[in-house]
């Protein structure tokens, strides 16, 4: 692989700072509604918590963090993780490097060490912010976030942050980034708790509940800005594609 100037620390620092500055502009120039209106009063006494989002929506999530909420986010070791970590730092959010994966890739992507780091941060009082779905498995909640809730004893809250004016990318996760001078919505779903002694069936039920909660939060957030979630059909499309491949293999 050839050298890329974009991978240098100086370049990632610059890009991250520019991204953070842009997001601050978007936040200042959008009229944002929050639902439920008293959500911050609801969650503050029970901090820290685990904030769950769908991949592709992560760019806008910093809008939802009030200044009094210490928070860290799980950020990929690869790709755009470097400048995302810088942007988060500029926005007052810490970064834990690692990402979700399946099977043998967990160690390669730093999943195990990141899991332990997240437990330490939750114990220290930091709210954790992370995507519920893992790369290339859009809108399918993974079991990792459920395991984090079980091990830490902390509740999960699904969240969606969207704007009426935005760019929707044709990526696998239908990533979006807001534009200035529009309307915005922050929607937080019901709390999901996982007991420390929860069995596999209970954890699977919690995973499906989180999946439904994230879908509902996104549908409501987009409705509040007069639009429809561009990623709403990703899970069904993926299931259809996987069924077709399985049928061909058989």
Q: How many CA atoms lie within 13 A of 43 on its CB side?
A: 28
Mean of all residue pLDDT scores within the chain: 91
Percent of the chain at pLDDT exceeding 70: 92
Q: What is the pLDDT of residue 135?
A: 83
- 183-188/156-163 β-pairing: antiparallel
Q: Phi first, then psi: what are they for 85, rounded to 5°?
A: -65, -40
- Give per-residue pLDDT as tens, 35-72: 999 999 999 999 999 999 999 888 899 999 999 999 99
Confidence at residue 151, expressed as pLDDT on a 0 to 100 scale: 97
Sign of the torsion formed by the C-alpha atoms of 240, 244, 246 and 250 = positive
**Where is pLDDT greater, at 97 or 120?**
120
- What is the reported pLDDT for 101? 53
Identify the CA nearest to 114 among candidates 142, 76, 150.
76
Q: What is the mean pLDDT of residues 176-183?
A: 97
Give the pLDDT confidence score for residue 1 in this predicted structure: 45
* pLDDT digit string, tens, across residues 4-15: 767 788 899 999
């Amino acid at each position: 692989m050839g050298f890329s100037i974009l991978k240098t620390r100086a370049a990632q620092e610059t890009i991250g700072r520019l991204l953070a500055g842009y997001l601050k502009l978007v936040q200042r120039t959008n009229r944002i509604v929050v639902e439920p209106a008293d959500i911050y009063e609801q969650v503050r006494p029970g901090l820290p918590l685990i904030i769950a989002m769908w991949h592709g929506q992560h760019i806008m999530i910093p809008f939802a963090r009030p200044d009094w909420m210490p928070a860290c986010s799980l950020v990929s070791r690869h790709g755009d993780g470097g400048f995302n970590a810088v942007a988060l730092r500029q926005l007052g959010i810490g970064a834990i490097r690692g990402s979700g994966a399946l099977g043998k890739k967990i160690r390669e992507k730093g999943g195990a060490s990141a899991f332990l780091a997240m437990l330490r941060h939750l114990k220290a009082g930091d709210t954790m912010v992370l995507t519920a779905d893992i790369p290339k498995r859009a809108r399918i909640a993974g079991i990792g976030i459920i395991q984090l809730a079980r091990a830490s004893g902390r509740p999960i809250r699904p969240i969606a942050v969207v704007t009426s004016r935005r760019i929707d990318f044709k990526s696998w996760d239908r990533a979006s980034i807001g534009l200035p001078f529009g309307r915005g919505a922050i929607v937080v779903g019901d709390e999901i708790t996982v007991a420390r002694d929860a069995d596999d069936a209970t954890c699977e039920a919690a995973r499906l509940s989180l999946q439904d909660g994230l879908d509902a939060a996104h549908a409501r957030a987009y409705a509040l800005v007069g639009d429809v979630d561009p990623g709403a059909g990703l899970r069904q499309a993926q299931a259809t594609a996987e069924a077709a491949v399985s049928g061909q293999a058989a």
